[in-house]
């Protein structure tokens, strides 16, 4: 059974990738407004694109110069989760160019999120700095949370922490949300990658499942035994992000139903999530047993030693060697 497979090499959730049009707008949005740190860059002029990796870091964490070998070593060994922003050269100069930010009919990716002590104060500050909103805290049926737009139109949820004053950064990256067709398939898949369901909530017509990577889980807690109020409170106080899987009830019974995964022509925006493992080949041998296939095998294509597996909904799951490999990027002098 898929639920009993444990992928080798201690998988840890390391990244969520979004495509961006203009790093001159997107990087300041996340660093200056949401307090993220640019921890590394990988530049591929030979292919015409550049990757930017941002993370919410604990106070006092030392940063290396992005693009250097030291920064690469840090990036590929972190226990937390980074936001990877992918920029294809020249898109910023094309006024008509846009990415698909999702949340239209059939889209799978939903949003990323940040936690904060005071949602109302945070949104007032963001609005003063020119940020526009899909939903302000007092709009709609669900009060006290908000959805801002980033420069590419991706939704950024603003969520209240349970206890103010306990987490030092004003904001911390807290979620990546993806819609799933069948939790009976998706939950075991991500559990096989070392994730734990830290909260599950049935809202009647849909359910949300929140999964945390091993570094973000308290091994002394039996999360399945918590009542929902405690699970929700604990969830809001995690420093690292969770993967929120949203299931609209009944989709699992529709053989023809399928979410768009963000990599289809005309719907590109969200790209993938990624996991670090000790041994890509050994991990992929176990992932192969899950039965959902690969977008790229470890030895496929020009870049050997990394893979893109497919999850039950066809989302791309990058599998990367802990410590990194030589990606062929143009490195910055230290």
The residues that are catalytic are: 157
CB-based contact 243:273 (threshold 8 Å): yes
Phi and psi at residue 296, in whole multiples of 5°? -150, 120
CB-based contact 301:50 (threshold 8 Å): no
Strand order in the sheet with 12-20: 37-44, 49-55, 82-88, 12-20, 270-277, 316-321, 307-310, 294-296
Nearest one of 151, 135, 147, 176 to 98, comparing CA atoms: 151
Q: Quick one: residue 89, left, alpha or beta (phi over 0 = left, psi -120 to 50 = alpha)?
A: beta
- Identify the three-state secondary structure at position 255: coil
CB-based contact 285:243 (threshold 8 Å): no
C-alpha–C-alpha distance, residues 144 and 116, integer Å = 11
Beta strand 82-88 with 49-55: parallel, antiparallel or unpaired? antiparallel
Q: Quick one: residue 262, left, alpha or beta (phi over 0 = left, psi -120 to 50 = alpha)?
A: left
CB-based contact 271:284 (threshold 8 Å): no
Quick one: DSSP state of residue 216?
A: G
C-alpha–C-alpha distance, residues 91 and 289, integer Å = 39
Q: Is the dihedral of CA 183, 113, 233, 203 positive or negative?
A: negative
- Identify the three-state secondary structure at position 41: strand
C-alpha–C-alpha distance, residues 232 and 326, integer Å = 41
């Amino acid at each position: 059974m898929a639920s009993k497979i444990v992928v080798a090499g201690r998988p840890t959730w390391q990244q969520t990738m979004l495509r961006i049009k203009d790093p001159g707008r997107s990087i300041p949005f996340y660093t200056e407004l949401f307090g993220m740190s640019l921890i590394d860059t990988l530049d591929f002029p030979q292919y015409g694109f550049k990757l930017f990796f941002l993370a919410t870091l604990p106070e006092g964490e030392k940063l290396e110069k992005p693009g250097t070998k030291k920064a690469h070593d840090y990036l590929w060994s972190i226990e937390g989760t980074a936001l990877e922003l992918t920029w294809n050269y020249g898109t910023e100069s094309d006024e008509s160019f846009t990415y698909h930010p999702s949340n239209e009919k059939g889209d799978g990716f939903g949003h990323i999120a940040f936690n904060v002590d005071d949602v109302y104060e945070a949104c007032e500050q963001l609005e003063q700095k020119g940020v526009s909103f899909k939903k302000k805290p007092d709009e709609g049926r669900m009060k006290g949370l908000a959805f801002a737009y980033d420069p590419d139109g991706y939704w950024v949820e603003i969520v209240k922490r349970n206890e103010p004053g306990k987490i030092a950064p004003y904001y911390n990256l807290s979620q990546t949300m993806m819609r799933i067709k069948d939790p009976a398939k998706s939950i075991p898949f991500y559990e096989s990658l070392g994730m734990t369901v830290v909260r599950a909530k049935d809202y009647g017509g849909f359910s949300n499942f929140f999964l945390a990577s091993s570094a973000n889980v308290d091994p002394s807690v039996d999360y399945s035994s918590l009542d929902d109020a405690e699970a929700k409170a604990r969830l809001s106080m995690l420093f690292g992000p969770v993967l929120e899987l949203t299931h609209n009830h009944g989709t699992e019974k529709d053989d023809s139903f399928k979410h768009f995964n963000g990599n289809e022509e005309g719907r590109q925006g969200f790209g993938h999530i990624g996991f670090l493992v000790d041994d890509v080949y050994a991990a992929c041998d176990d992932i192969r047993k899950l039965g959902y296939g690969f977008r790229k095998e470890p030895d496929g294509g020009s870049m050997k030693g990394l893979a893109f597996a497919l999850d039950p909904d066809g989302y791309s799951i990058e599998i990367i060697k802990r410590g990194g490999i030589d990606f062929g990027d143009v490195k910055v002098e230290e």
